[in-house]
Amino acid sequence: MKVRNYQIIVLNSILVFLIVIMTILTKGRILRLESLQAVAFQMPLLGLLTLAQMVPMLTGGIDLSIVSNANLAGIIVALILTKLSGWYTVPLAILAGIGTALLVGALNGFLVAFVMISPIIATLGTMILIKGISLGITKGYIIAGFPKEFLFIGDGAILGIPMPFIIFLVSIFMVSLLLNKTIYGISVYMLGSNPIATEFSGVNIKSVLFRTYLLSGFLTGIASLVMIARFNAAQAAYGESYLLLTVLACVLGGVNPAGGFGKVSGLFVAIIVLQVVATGFNLLRLSSHLANALWGLILIFVITINRTITGKWI
Amino acid sequence: MNHSSLKRLLRRTEIYLLGILVVLSIVLAIVNPKFLTLENIFDLLRNNSFLGILALGELVVLISGGIDVSFTAIATVSQYVMGVIISKYFIDNILVALLIPIPVGISLGAINAILINYTKVHPVIITISNLNVFYGLLIFITGGKWIYRFPHSFRTFAKLKLVTLVNERGIEYGLSVFTGFWILIAILTWIILKYFPIGRKIYAVGGNMEAARRAGFNIFKVQLFVYCYIGALAGLASFVQAQLAQIIQPNAIVGRELDVLAAAILGGASVFGGSGTVIGTVLGVLLIGIIKNGLILMKIPAYWHQVVIGLIIVIAAGITAYQRKLRKKKGLV
């Protein structure tokens, strides 16, 4: 318990430090309403994908296919939105998109839980497979131009709060409820910290794993809707740099890559840290590549500090 | 006893691979007789030597129970350093060009090893971070500029052939010097793994790190060796890639991590460590290369190639997992 407190303190100190530095460097521009709104519009996409990454990581797994999955689901949504027209188009597209993402999640779950392929390899395979299917469908082209009602998901606002941010908050609330208040959630944490003990305590490991990848697929589907609504376009290769970022955000937020530990609240702070760096760099007109390097350095810094203070990881 | 049964299993994986390779080659040769010409085979070997060298480095890391996804960034950085030095000072000496990227790769590999050993975090996390750090800093510092002015020797070396033949149209072709590099590295890796004490230690650490630690092995030395080895090979491979392309683009290599991982895993290396062979890895690279080549010869659009590669990985991993499951059941009874 104490050890995890250290980590939260380190992470929050970094956040405060970054905000102060960025405020000084940007002469206060990062604290203006426009900047905060930009953060609220941009953060949810990374946040939703990171949530989709977090659940498998809690079980000691990983899902490398989330970005490919989001792109395939996005392409299916885009095809329906651009090829059909009628009152039913938008709801049908949304259902089909989430259905596609769930299907890929089920495939991952099947491979990991029942065929017992290690998650890195299983999701590496599905990642390449699904990207290939997306490329085959679109031939590499972009599908663009969606109806207004759909774009509301990406750029609309209710009472001044950006729609993507609302979706993100609802998802965070749902996931933390699932993880902390349900038997399924307890099983996930148990499975991540000691799979053998979990099996002997009568938990159906295969079912828990399968549902984990299904949940990851569902969250990916939601992320996909936000993504294509923000870009007003879908393509086979959007957002590939997000994949490594989601792993990074999880670890930064205190999710143990070996499984068993990690809270949604830590993840929330980590995503804000990453977004503050990105927005600050944008305001300072610094290269996004430098932001990438800094993200990596921050992660290594946090891990090293944790190791030095506590003598062990988590 | 357990060890010999493991060995038998591995041998079987390679025989499967070889079988698939032979069947595939026959099918491709029937579909398009061009496939089995020496010219096409030599081309295939040259074009895959870059991936082949990297896959051997990844093999060694995988056997040790680690994983490295930062080698593409390491290759990019070492290639760029080489490019800047030889084009700026116009050093017309191929040996110098070859000797620059390797130490750069080794140093970056050492950074990985030190961090992995100190933090005890899964290597995939550390190397993902370092991929971002190495590559991000390089692009930030260089601005992503291309390098394409090379000295004479740099251009002529790429055309060097170990064996030269002439086809029916009178055009020369042959076995590229880079295929020779690949063969040499395969032999070197095989010798290290089989005959050097460090090779035995790599298998031991990958098989059971805690047991190896208690047996008195220096885990850090093994980690330092494997991550520096893949760093050195990343440097060498980046030299090969720069020679084949005759241009240095910072974005040419990053993004191909998974091709290399796929080849090593297809060849029977396990992500859990402790197993994998040089022959399996070479066959894995060849299989992926032949499939891509065959799909091109069959005029299937490039978009669908990935679907085939993805399916192969899933099926190969499924078979391996199934075999492991059977073995576990046997062990329990």
Q: Beta strand pairing status for A161-162 and B161-166?
A: unpaired
Could you tell me which residues are beta bridge partners of residue B173? Answer: B165
- A243 → chain B, closest CA residue: B128
Alpha carbon of B81 to those of A71, A283, B104: distances in Å? 36, 31, 8
In a mutagenesis test of the B interface, which of A54, A117, A302 is the best target, namely the one with the most B β-carbons within 10 Å? A117
Residue B161 CA from chain centroid, whole number: 22
Q: Which of B258, B272, B325 sits opposite A128 (nearest CB)?
A: B258
In a mutagenesis test of the A interface, which of B126, B129, B271 is the best target, namely the one with the most A β-carbons within 10 Å? B129
| B141 touches A at CB < 8 Å | no
Contact A234, A78 (CB under 8 A): yes
| B310 touches A at CB < 8 Å | yes
Q: Which of A129, A240, A293 sits opposite B136 (nearest CB)?
A: A293
State the number of CA atoms in the 13 A half-sphere of A177 facing the CB: 6
For residue A294, list chain B residues with Cβ-Cβ distance below 8 A: 136
Please report which helix (H) or strand (E) contains residue B161, including its range: strand B161-166
| B133 touches A at CB < 8 Å | yes
CA neighbor of A54 nearest in space, from A158, A178, A139: A178
The pLDDT, as a whole number, for residue A23 is 86
pLDDT in tens, chain B (333 residues): 466 665 665 556 788 788 888 888 888 888 888 888 888 889 899 999 999 999 999 999 999 999 998 999 999 999 999 999 988 887 788 888 889 999 999 999 999 999 999 988 888 889 988 998 999 999 999 888 898 888 888 888 888 888 777 777 777 788 889 999 999 999 999 999 999 999 999 999 998 888 888 888 899 999 999 999 999 999 999 999 999 988 888 888 887 887 888 888 888 887 778 888 999 999 999 998 888 888 888 888 877 888 888 888 888 788 777 777 777 766 554
Burial of residue B198 (number of CB atoms within 10 Å: 0-12, 13-18, 19+): middle
d(CA A131, CA A124): 11
In a mutagenesis test of the B interface, which of A65, A121, A127, A244 is the best target, namely the one with the most B β-carbons within 10 Å? A121
d(CA A162, CA A149): 15
Q: What is the amino acid identity at position A34?
A: E
Instruction: Give B157→chain A minimum CA distance, Å.
Output: 34
Whether the pTM exceeds 0.90: the reply is no
State the number of CA atoms in the 13 A half-sphere of B126 facing the CB: 22
Q: Are A139 and B313 in contact (CB < 8 Å)?
A: no
3 state DSSP class of B172:
strand
Which residues of A21-158 form beta strands (DSSP E)?
A: 143-144, 157-158
Q: Residue A144: what are its φ and ψ, rounded to 5°?
A: -135, 165
The pLDDT, as a whole number, for residue A69 is 95
Q: Encoding tokens for residue A91? A: 């709801």
The pLDDT, as a whole number, for residue A311 is 63
pLDDT in tens, A15-67: 888 888 888 888 888 778 777 877 887 889 999 999 999 999 999 899 989 99
Burial of residue B18 (number of CB atoms within 10 Å: 0-12, 13-18, 19+): middle
- Helices B219-245 and B49-63: crossing angle in degrees, nearest 10, is 170
Determine how many CB atoms are found less than 10 A away from the CB of residue A267: 25
Q: Looking at chain B, how many residues does it have?
A: 333
Burial of residue A297 (number of CB atoms within 10 Å: 0-12, 13-18, 19+): middle
Q: Which of B120, B261, B310 sits opposite A129 (nearest CB)?
A: B310
In a mutagenesis test of the A interface, which of B209, B306, B311 is the best target, namely the one with the most A β-carbons within 10 Å? B306
- Dihedral (C-alpha) B195, B198, B204, B207: value to the nearest 10 degrees? -90
Please report which helix (H) or strand (E) contains residue B294, including its range: helix B278-297
d(CA B235, CA B304): 31
The pLDDT, as a whole number, for residue A313 is 45
- Helices B2-31 and B305-332: crossing angle in degrees, nearest 10, is 150
Q: What is the amino acid identity at position B182?
A: W
| B119 touches A at CB < 8 Å | yes
Residue A231 CA from chain centroid, whole number: 17
| B301 touches A at CB < 8 Å | yes
Could you tell me which residues are beta bridge partners of residue B248? Answer: B147
- Residue B142, C-beta contacts closer than 8 angstroms, at least 6 positions apart: B80, B250
State the number of CA atoms in the 13 A half-sphere of A305 facing the CB: 17
Q: Are B132 and A248 in contact (CB < 8 Å)?
A: yes
> What end-to-end distance do the CA atoms of chain B give, in Å?
16
Q: Are A307 and B122 in contact (CB < 8 Å)?
A: no
- B111 → chain A, closest CA residue: A300
Contact B97, A260 (CB under 8 A): no
What are the residue ranges in chain A where pLDDT is below 70?
A: 1-5, 310-314
Please report which helix (H) or strand (E) contains residue B174, including its range: strand B172-176
CA neighbor of B11 nearest in space, from B195, B265, B278: B278
Burial of residue B245 (number of CB atoms within 10 Å: 0-12, 13-18, 19+): middle
Could you tell me which residues are beta bridge partners of residue B165? Answer: B173
Contact A155, A163 (CB under 8 A): yes
For residue A302, list chain B residues with Cβ-Cβ distance below 8 A: none
The DSSP symbol for B26 reads H
| B326 touches A at CB < 8 Å | no
The pLDDT, as a whole number, for residue A307 is 78
Q: Which of B122, B137, B305 sits opposite A257 (nearest CB)?
A: B122
Q: Are B124 and A257 in contact (CB < 8 Å)?
A: yes
CA neighbor of A102 nearest in space, from A263, A226, A243, A214: A214
In a mutagenesis test of the A interface, which of B119, B142, B270, B295 is the best target, namely the one with the most A β-carbons within 10 Å? B119
| B226 touches A at CB < 8 Å | no
Alpha carbon of A239 to those of A242, B168, B310: distances in Å? 5, 48, 20
Contact A94, A225 (CB under 8 A): yes
Angle at alpha carbon of residue B156, lines to B153 and B161, rounded to 5°:
130
d(CA B26, CA B19): 11
Q: Are A125 and B119 in contact (CB < 8 Å)?
A: no
- A240 → chain B, closest CA residue: B255
